[in-house]
Every structure is written in C-alpha cells, then in structure tokens.
Structure 1
Amino acid sequence: MSNKKYGGVPRGEMTDKELIQKQPDHNEQLKIKKVTEAQQTQSPWRKYLMAVWAVLECLLFGGLVYGWGSLVFVFKKEGIYAELCSHRGDNSSNITIPAENMSGVISCREQDEKLQLAFTVGTTLMTISSPILGHIQYTSGTRMARIVLICFFLCGSLVTAFLTTSTPWLVFLGLSCLAIGGLPIVITNIQVANLFAVGGSTVVGLLCGSFDASAAVQLVVKIAYENGISRQYSYLFISALHVMVIFSTFVLLPKTFIPKVEPDKSDLDEAGEVVKALNENDNPAVHSEELPLRDVKPSLLNCTLSRVFLSHVFWLSVLQLRFYYFIGTLNPWLNYITNQEESLVSHYTNASLFTQLGGVLTSLFCGFIYDLERRRNNSKPSITERRLQPSVVPLTLTSCLALLLSCLVLVPSAEVLYVDFIVLTFFRSFMYGTAAAFLQMVFPADYFGFLYGMLIVISGVLGCVQYPLFIWLETPPKGPQKVNIFLLVLMFVSLIHPINIWLNTKRGANNIAESEYVFIAKRSKCF
C-alpha cells in the first residue's frame, strides 16, 4: 500500500510537509461545515422561497437585453435615429428597404447599423463587466456584488425611459447599463442551487431559463406601447419593481456565499466521493489516512488556466456568436422576409418573444437531462467520470441544436420562422443552462462567480464579431447566405468540446482514488 497512488501521486514520494500543505485550512473547513449544517437544519420552506424568488428576479430583470427585437421595433416607431434616413431614397440595402412604409415608420440601412451597434456595445460591455462583478462577489461577497448590479440596472432603466429622438445616443448608455445590471442577477442567484443536494442542475436550468424568458418583458413593453402606454411609463414601472432585488439582497441571500450541501460521506454521492471499499483487501485505516488528499482545493488560477475551462470557453464563444447574431439581426431579417410590411414584422416579433417564454420549460428539460446523466454516472468509481461524463450529452445536444438553427435560417421563408423561434428557445436554454451547470458541477462553489464572469467575457469578445458579420450581411450578392454558411461551419467546430470531454473521461476511467479536483489541479494533465 505504500506505493499506491492517491490523487495521481505515489504515497511514498510525498513528505509530511507536502501532505500538510495539501490539507485545506482547518478554520476554513470548520466555517464551511457550520454554514452547511445551518443550511441543512433550516426550514425547508426557506430554501424553496429563495429558489422561487431567484427565478422571479431572473424572469423580470435578468435578460432584458435579449428582448432587443421588440425594443428596436418601438424605437423605430418613435423615430430614434430616423434622421439617418432623411436623405435616403434609393434601394441600396440588401436587407432593409430605405423607405417610408404605410404607417409612416422610416427604416434604412444606416438606422439598422446604428441600432445594431448599440446592441453590440451593450452585449459586449455586459460580457466585459461579468468577471469584474464576479471578482467583486468572490472578494467582497454576494451583497456587495448585488448592490453594484442594482445601481447599474436602475441607471439603465431610467435612461431608457427618458431617451428621446433628440438624445438617441442614450440608447447606448441605457442598453449597456441594463445588460451590465442584468446578467449578475443570474450569477449571484445560481448559488441557491447549492441548497439542493439533489436536483441542483435542475435549479440552475430553471434560473437560466427564467433569464432567457425575461426577454419577453420587452414584448410586454412593446404591446403596452401599441395600446397607448408609453415606453417611459413602462420603464418607470420596471424601475419601481426592482425593489424586490433590493429586498432579497439584504434579507434572503447571505452576505458572502452559499456553500454546497454535500450528502453523507459514507455514501456514494453525486458530489464525487470515493467509492467505499476500493479494494476489499485494503486496510481501512490506510483509507482514512489517505482520504484527506481528496479534499485538495485547486487555486483560482489553476481553474482559470485548466484546459477543461478553456475548452468550455471556446464552446460557449462559438455558440453565443450564433445566438447574438440571430437576435441582433432579427428586425432587419424580418423586414427582408416580409418586404417591409410593418404588421407582419410586428406579428413575427411578437411570435419570437412569445416562444421565448417557453424558455422556463425548456431549461427545466435541460436541467433534468443533466441531473439524469449525473445519476446515471453516479456509480462509476472514477471521480473524473462522475464529474465530467454527465456533461457530454447536454453539451452535444446544445451543439446539435445550434446546427439545426443554422440550417433553418438558410431557408428565407416566413413559414419557417415559427420553427426557427422554437429551435432558438431550446438552443438558448441548453446553451446557458449547460454552461452554468457545468461550472457549478466541476469547480469549487466559491469560484463560480468569477469563472462564470470570465466565461462570459471571453466568449463576449468573440461576440464582437457580430457587427462585422452584420456589415457582411449587407454586402451583395447573397450576403445573408454567406454569413449563415460561415456560422454553420462554426457550429460543426463546436462539437470539439463534448468530444474532447468524452475522450478524456475515458482516459481517466481507471483513476479511482484521486483528488476530487484532479482534472483541474494537475495542470499538465488537464483536458
């Protein structure tokens, strides 16, 4: 037994000093244990209240930026940047006819480009700010991070309420602040899933689905506008409703973090504990001596530079570009398909947002699949398999949905639009739900905010490519088809990530008694 490997390191090659260094801080262990015990003994209704409240926050305030299709429709009706079309009368655009339609709404390529730039800037700043707010949460706790997001969101909603045709540049500021203040609502609420030892991935999926469905809030603003309620009143109401985020920040959520609730270590659980009795002939005393090596916690730097994380970043970057491009070009695309008929553009815009309301259900389905895979792989002796193998099916399904969407948009038909919207809803739910559940499952809980922020910001850098793609889309002949074929090829490339994870879990199948985070800590052998 003296030469038996634990955590990939021969026992005989490690000194007592090295063993002590690998042990987690005792005071930190006691603190986490006390908090976890308090969570397990608290009233069950409280954790369900926190989960429901978190879902409502994500549903009402999380992803308003993704309802851009409805908001840009309102902006065009109000004449935001319409002055760019005042000297245009030619049909030089490949997508939008620069003319005044029967309802008096002016639209042209220059206006579309300016509004598309506002969307690009907003989503880019959202991604850049994510690791900053994640770092604030990691260093200063949940409460401080949420105070910052509250300030940004209220600024964005008030600016959006009071921008006018004489100050159209406020679209950039308002949308950016709404985006910056929206995503952290999900980041700070996902830790609520740590309260659920079983079904945590389903909770993560539900939160991400609510974040997706929050785009429908802009649909409500659009419908209210068409029925005589101004955009100003709608956004003032949204600002007032944000008081519920303030309430949960100071009453429901802790000042710091919610640690994971781990089941009894005597059982084989989904958190990745060592299988009991690795070898019936082994000495139990030796096991009790070696097991603490499993609790080695990798540094934040190791997690950030691990190949499993970088591969995950690449996967989300490619898929998010497909999603951002679809959302950002929805309005000019609908104008192109419907020949600039406003009633049809309004109809299909509403249809796209109504289908996004189904994101709550599709995200539940995504979380259910992830949890099902976790239970299916729960009996495997390798920690690497139990940690990573459950993600292979959700990752692959997400890439396949992106491929399907990329194929459907190659058909410029109004009848296909309904199928596009349904596939988009499934795709977005699986993309963000799987991305978050993967981090929540694989990495330490207190690293989630920073790692999720890094994931979003790096993928968002590639998301900046959507604006050059929009310019390419306007280039005749057949600009839209060329761009969509390019994105189709990228979606095939995204399959590299699930294939890579599957191959490496098979390689680590024989490593039974290893560190809980061996695939992160051993950087030379990271995926």
Structure 2
Amino acid sequence: MAPTLATSFARRWWMAVTAVIENLLFSAVLLGWGSLLIMLKSEGFYSYLSSLNISNASSSEDDYLEMNGWPICKDQDEMLNLAFTVGSFLLSAITLPMGIVMDKYGPRKLRLLGSACFAFSCLLMAYGASDPNNLSILIFFALALNGFGGMCMTFTSLTLPNMFGDLRSTFIALMIGSYASSAVTFPGIKVIYDLGATFISILLVWAGCACLLFLNCFINWPLEPFPAGHVALKKPTLFPHTQTFSHQSFIKSIFSSIFLLSLITMCVTQLRLIFYMGAMNTILESLTEGDLSTVSVYSSIFGVLQLLCLVTSPVIGQVMDWRLKDCEDDNDKSAKREPGQPRRRTKQIQKIINATRAFIFTNLLLVGFGVTCIIPNLHLQILSFILHTIVRGFIHSAVGGLYAAVYPSSQFGSLTGMQSLISALFALLQQPLFMAMVGPLDGDPLWVNVGLLALSMLGFCLPAYLLLHSRHLQRLQDERDEDPKIYVKMNNGSQPEAFV
C-alpha cells in the first residue's frame, strides 16, 4: 500500500538522506568505467578473443599481455567499450521519455522499476563472470540495465526537493552532487576487489542493496507526483494529485528564451567537460612524455576528486535559494508594509537574480578551467581536475534550480530530459575534436582548447538575458506599485475632471 503525500511529507528528511546515499551507490556509476573495465578484464570477459588471436598468430604467446591469468588484447578492449557505449548512451538518451513518464505517473513506479533493473543487472554480471568464455555477451544487457536503472534513480530523486519549499534548489543541488559523485563507486568497489573479495560476491551484495532500495521506495514514496514545494509546506494534507500545464504549455516552455539559452550553455559546457574526460590520458601522456605510471597516478587523483561534486554542488544551491525567505510570495496581495516603505521583491524576481549569479559564477569557473588547460604544466592539471569537477556539479545544479524556479513543476522532468538529450547529442562532437588532436595536431591539444575556450564565452548569454529579464520584471512591479488610481468626477459643469 503506497503512502499518501501527507505521510511522505512527514518522512521527507528520511527520504532525502536515503536518496543521497542511493544516488551515490546506484545512479551514474558507469562514469567510473575505468575501474570496472579492469575488473571485467581480470574476470576474463571476452578474453577468448585474445585466445583466438594467440592461436591464429604466427608470433609467440609472449607478445600478449595477461591480467589475473586471462589474456587481454585490443579486440577485447573494443568489445567491452562497445558494451560501455550502450550503457552510457542510455544514461543520456533515455532522459526525455523518462521525464515525460515521470511527469505523468509520478516517481514511485519509475523508481521501483529502476531499482529492480539495477539489481537484475548485478545478477546478470555475476552470472556472466561465472563462465566468461560462454556468457560474456551478458555484459551488454547488464550495462544497459545498469544505465537505465541508474538514470531512474537520478530522475526520480530530482522531484523530492519539491517537499522542501524555499530550500528546493539546495536539495536539487545535493541530489545532482550525489549523482555526479557516483563515479567513485566503481573505484571504491575495485579497492574491495583488490583486497581479495570475489567479483561475484561483490555483485551479489550490491544486488541485495538494490533490493533494499526497492523496499525503501515501496514503503515511503507516494503514487502521486510531488507538488510544488510551497503547496506542500503550507497544506500537507491538501496535496493536489496532479499539476496541469495551464500556466504554460510544454511547447511554449521549449521555445522560451530561457530554455533555449540554457540549451546553449549546457551544450557548450558538456562538450568542454566531456572532451577533457575523453582526452585526459592523451593530454597527460603528452605532458609526461609517455610516462604511463605518472598518467595512472594522475588518473586516480582525478577519480577521487569526483567526490567534490557532493560537497560543492549544494553551494550553488544556496546561491539559488539566497534571500528567498525575505521575499514576498508572487501572488500574495495581503502583505502589509509601513506607509512609504518600498515593497519587497517577489520570489520570482529573486529566483531569477539568484540564477543569474549562479551562472555567472559557473561560467567564470569554466573559463578558468579552459585557461588552465591551455597552460602545458603537469602540476597545474590538479587545478584543472578540481575546476572540472566543480563546474560539472555546478552546471547541472544551476540548470536544475533554474527550471524549478521558472517552469511549472509538472514540466521539470520533461524539460530536463530534453535538455539532457540535446546536450548529449551535441557532446558527440568531442569525437571529431579528439581525432583532430591525435591526427593533424600530432597530439597537441592547444588549438582545440583555445577553440573550446572561445566557445565557452557563449555561456554568458544566459546570465545576461536573465539580468535583463529580472530588471524588466522589477520595473513592471515598481510601475504597478507606484501607478496612482485615476478617478473622474463631474463638476457643476458638464466637463469631467480627473484627480488623484
């Protein structure tokens, strides 16, 4: 029996804490692919491709490498990376239909489905590891279910902050930070694996944890979508079951200036961040003159720093929620103030001003990141790692907070899904950029980084528009407050006379 919205509202702090933990363990864990790849090769997934190459080759077996007693080769890497491509593609491509489904049916059913898919993905992976020579194909299905289940966790958790009123942007940032930090999950599992735990036992325990997630959702998450936060806080027992598009149609929201400019900002930022992630090892090799041990150390540092997303993302959420408690509700006509005292800002105007500051700050960090990428200094790359991690958490939190502030909550999932899908498609440009870097540019990333730095300047279009938009709204509010009422009275004569 699903709980009512009022019951879920009373349990909102428990749901928020567990959602953060669940995001860390089950959302975008595929972003830690490097560590999973090592474990899969150590367990012999697709190692028979290497064995076939050895038997068909004229050279000796000493020309081939082994990992944990299993042969490894280029064909194996290509096959496993193809499986990763399938899973990571679902992390982005499924966002739009998932958002539409969630807006219509609420988060409960989608979260239950996601947790079940994640648990099943762990079982498939464990079953494949029991006989990799015959069952390696299961890794494709396992990673596809892993990507789908992880995105279910992420999307449904983004609706939970509606229960926290003026702190909604802060909690959205916290959820996004835990999602971005989930890239450390597989590196953490690899540590356990290196300590002697078997791969199959780790996956079985992980599947059991996913079952606990299913149980937690079944007990605490309601059937109805979470309404806007202010409604939830004021009248928890009178929740509306659904929210309609009466305020603004979905099509109108898509073609609004704010959404289109946010698309430009996200596309540019995603391309900048993803290109660095894909080319990082190549860039580090050029800076270390091919010292692979140093490259491995710096890659590990980059992985550990992903936890910064969990710490830094709520900072931008605080910026988005700044001084909202001191503002008047947009439709509150009963607010009293002393004669001559100016009216306080409405929450709508304050939210737009806060979003302007958040995007200016984020874009300045992105430009700083671009500058550090241009300077060919190995030690400076640590600063690049930090800025990369902070920007990755900030940009998702800022966009999520902006959509929550400007658009109806019933459109949040659909708009976020549309933005995620389009920015993911645009980020595919990183592949030709990478090919240009390793080809015509002979591994030198300078001109690619210069071009991306120039492209990053487009990110300032959104805060510039938000600044003008907030001033326009403030001017309309001032005119409405100061405009005197004109009354007309008739004198003894026939001519009307206006007076204030």
Q: Distance in 2 between matches of 1:264 and 1:71?
A: 41
Secondary structure of the structure 1 residue equivalent to 2:439: coil
Find out whether 1:245 has 2:195 as its counterpart.
Answer: no
The answer for unaligned runs of 5 or more in structure 2 is 55-62, 235-244, 329-342, 480-500
Provide closer, same or farther for how the CA distance between residues 421 and 171 of structure 1 changes in structure 2, counting only shifts above 3 A: farther
Find out whether 1:298 has 2:248 as its counterpart.
Answer: yes
Give 1:52 shift.
0.6
Deviations 1:278-328, CA, capped at 9 Å, x for gaps:
xxxxxxxxxxxxxxxxx9622223223322222212211221222222333
- Structure-1 residue corresponding to 2:304: 354
Find out whether 1:435 has 2:399 as its counterpart.
Answer: yes
- Structure-1 residue corresponding to 2:493: none
Deviations 1:6-43, CA, capped at 9 Å, x for gaps:
xxxxxxxxxxxxxxxxxxxxxxxxxxxxx88x479x64
Find out whether 1:123 has 2:88 as its counterpart.
Answer: yes
Answer whether contact 2:170 2:318 (CA < 8 A) is retained: yes
- Structure-2 residue corresponding to 1:501: 466
- Structure-1 residue corresponding to 2:106: 141
1:75-224 to structure 2, matched below 5 A, reads 75=40, 119-161=84-126, 162=128, 164=132, 172-224=140-192
Amino acid at match of 2:97: I
Q: Distance in 2 between matches of 1:484 and 1:109?
A: 29
Give 1:61 shift.
0.9
Find out whether 1:459 has 2:409 as its counterpart.
Answer: no
Secondary structure of the structure 2 residue equivalent to 1:214: helix
Deviations 1:65-118, CA, capped at 9 Å, x for gaps:
22123334445666767868979xxxxxxxxxx996999999998877766665
Answer whether contact 2:32 2:186 (CA < 8 A) is retained: yes
Find out whether 1:403 has 2:371 as its counterpart.
Answer: no
2:476 aligned residue (495, 511, 515): 511
- Structure-2 residue corresponding to 1:490: 455
Secondary structure of the structure 2 residue equivalent to 1:134: helix
Secondary structure of the structure 1 residue equivalent to 2:247: coil
Provide closer, same or farther for how the CA distance between residues 426 and 264 of structure 1 changes in structure 2, counting only shifts above 3 A: closer
- Structure-2 residue corresponding to 1:310: 260
Give 1:361 shift.
1.2
Q: Distance in 2 between matches of 1:489 and 1:103?
A: 46
Amino acid at match of 1:194: N
1:322 aligned residue (257, 272, 280): 272
Deviations 1:168-222, CA, capped at 9 Å, x for gaps:
6655544343222212212211222122123221111111111111111111122
Provide closer, same or farther for how the CA distance between residues 376 and 471 of structure 1 changes in structure 2, counting only shifts above 3 A: farther
Answer whether contact 2:83 2:143 (CA < 8 A) is retained: yes
Provide closer, same or farther for how the CA distance between residues 237 and 49 of structure 1 changes in structure 2, counting only shifts above 3 A: same
Answer whether contact 2:164 2:233 (CA < 8 A) is retained: no
- Structure-2 residue corresponding to 1:280: none
Amino acid at match of 1:400: L
Provide closer, same or farther for how the CA distance between residues 53 and 347 of structure 1 changes in structure 2, counting only shifts above 3 A: same
Give 1:400 shift.
1.9
Bigger mean CA offset, 377-386 vs 388-397: 377-386
Answer whether contact 1:39 1:195 (CA < 8 A) is retained: no
Higher relative contact order structure (alpha carbons within 8 Å, sequence separation ≥ 6): 1
1:328-343 to structure 2, matched below 5 A, reads 328-335=278-285, 337-338=287-288, 341=291, 343=293
Amino acid at match of 1:61: F
Q: Distance in 1 between matches of 2:65 and 2:33?
A: 22
Provide closer, same or farther for how the CA distance between residues 70 and 400 of structure 1 changes in structure 2, counting only shifts above 3 A: farther
Q: What CA RMSD, in Å, does the superposition of the two structures yield over aligned residues?
A: 3.8
1:366 aligned residue (308, 316, 336): 316
Q: Distance in 1 between matches of 2:29 and 2:193?
A: 16
TM-score by length of structure 2 reads 0.76
Find out whether 1:56 has 2:21 as its counterpart.
Answer: yes
- Identical residues among aligned pairs (%): 26
Q: Distance in 2 between matches of 1:473 and 1:106?
A: 31
Q: Distance in 2 between matches of 1:167 and 1:334?
A: 36
- Structure-2 residue corresponding to 1:521: none
Amino acid at match of 1:57: E
TM-score by length of structure 1 reads 0.72
Secondary structure of the structure 2 residue equivalent to 1:298: coil
- Structure-2 residue corresponding to 1:520: none
Provide closer, same or farther for how the CA distance between residues 490 and 160 of structure 1 changes in structure 2, counting only shifts above 3 A: farther
Amino acid at match of 1:492: M
Bigger mean CA offset, 59-68 vs 301-310: 301-310
Provide closer, same or farther for how the CA distance between residues 76 and 469 of structure 1 changes in structure 2, counting only shifts above 3 A: farther
- Structure-2 residue corresponding to 1:14: none
Bigger mean CA offset, 132-141 vs 114-123: 114-123
Answer whether contact 1:81 1:165 (CA < 8 A) is retained: yes
2:197 aligned residue (209, 213, 229): 229
Provide closer, same or farther for how the CA distance between residues 146 and 474 of structure 1 changes in structure 2, counting only shifts above 3 A: same
Deviations 1:108-159, CA, capped at 9 Å, x for gaps:
9887776666555433322211111112212222222223323432344344
Q: Distance in 2 between matches of 1:264 and 1:215?
A: 33
Amino acid at match of 2:380: V
Answer whether contact 2:168 2:229 (CA < 8 A) is retained: no
Provide closer, same or farther for how the CA distance between residues 140 and 158 of structure 1 changes in structure 2, counting only shifts above 3 A: same
Secondary structure of the structure 1 residue equivalent to 2:103: helix
Q: Distance in 1 between matches of 2:253 and 2:297?
A: 46
Secondary structure of the structure 2 residue equivalent to 1:466: helix
Deviations 1:433-483, CA, capped at 9 Å, x for gaps:
112111112211222222221121121111222333332332142453333
- Structure-1 residue corresponding to 2:237: none
Deviations 1:475-520, CA, capped at 9 Å, x for gaps:
1424533332332222122222221222222233322399xxxxxx
Deviations 1:237-260, CA, capped at 9 Å, x for gaps:
222211232123211111121112
Answer whether contact 2:116 2:210 (CA < 8 A) is retained: no
Provide closer, same or farther for how the CA distance between residues 200 and 469 of structure 1 changes in structure 2, counting only shifts above 3 A: same
Answer whether contact 1:73 1:331 (CA < 8 A) is retained: no
Bigger mean CA offset, 390-399 vs 139-148: 139-148
Q: Distance in 2 between matches of 1:318 and 1:113?
A: 28
Provide closer, same or farther for how the CA distance between residues 338 and 106 of structure 1 changes in structure 2, counting only shifts above 3 A: farther
Provide closer, same or farther for how the CA distance between residues 78 and 410 of structure 1 changes in structure 2, counting only shifts above 3 A: farther
Answer whether contact 1:130 1:180 (CA < 8 A) is retained: no
Considering only CA atoms, is the larger Rg found in Structure 1 or Structure 2? 2
Provide closer, same or farther for how the CA distance between residues 391 and 335 of structure 1 changes in structure 2, counting only shifts above 3 A: same
Provide closer, same or farther for how the CA distance between residues 175 and 314 of structure 1 changes in structure 2, counting only shifts above 3 A: farther
Provide closer, same or farther for how the CA distance between residues 513 and 202 of structure 1 changes in structure 2, counting only shifts above 3 A: same
Q: Distance in 2 between matches of 1:171 and 1:118?
A: 7
Answer whether contact 2:320 2:351 (CA < 8 A) is retained: no
